[in-house]
Copies of this chain bind each other. A is one copy, B any other.
Amino acid sequence: MKLYGYWRSSAAYRVRIALNLKQLTAEHISVHLVNNGGEQHSEVYHQLNPSDLVPTFIDNNGSGEINLSQSLAIMEYLDEKHPQQPLLPRNIEQRAIVRSMAQAIACEIHPLDNLRVLQYLVNEMGVSEADKMRWYHHWIHLGFAALEQQLSQYSGRFCFGDTPSLADICLIPQVYNAKRFNLELAAYPNIVRIWDECNKLTAFADAAPEQQYDAT
Contact = CB atoms under 8 A, between A and B. Distances in A.
Nearest to A138: B120
A12 B93 CA distance: 20
Interface stretch (A73-81, A174-182, A189-197, A207-215): A73-81
Contacts of A76: 95-96, 99
A104 interface: yes
A107 B104 contact: no
Copies of this protein in the complex: 2
Interface residues of A, number: 47
A149 B50 contact: yes
Contact of A73 (B70, B99, B138): B99
A209 B49 CA distance: 33
Contact of A135 (B50, B95, B107, B120): B120
A171 interface: no
9 contacts: A68-B100, A69-B104, A70-B104, A70-B107, A77-B99, A80-B92, A81-B92, A112-B112, A125-B127
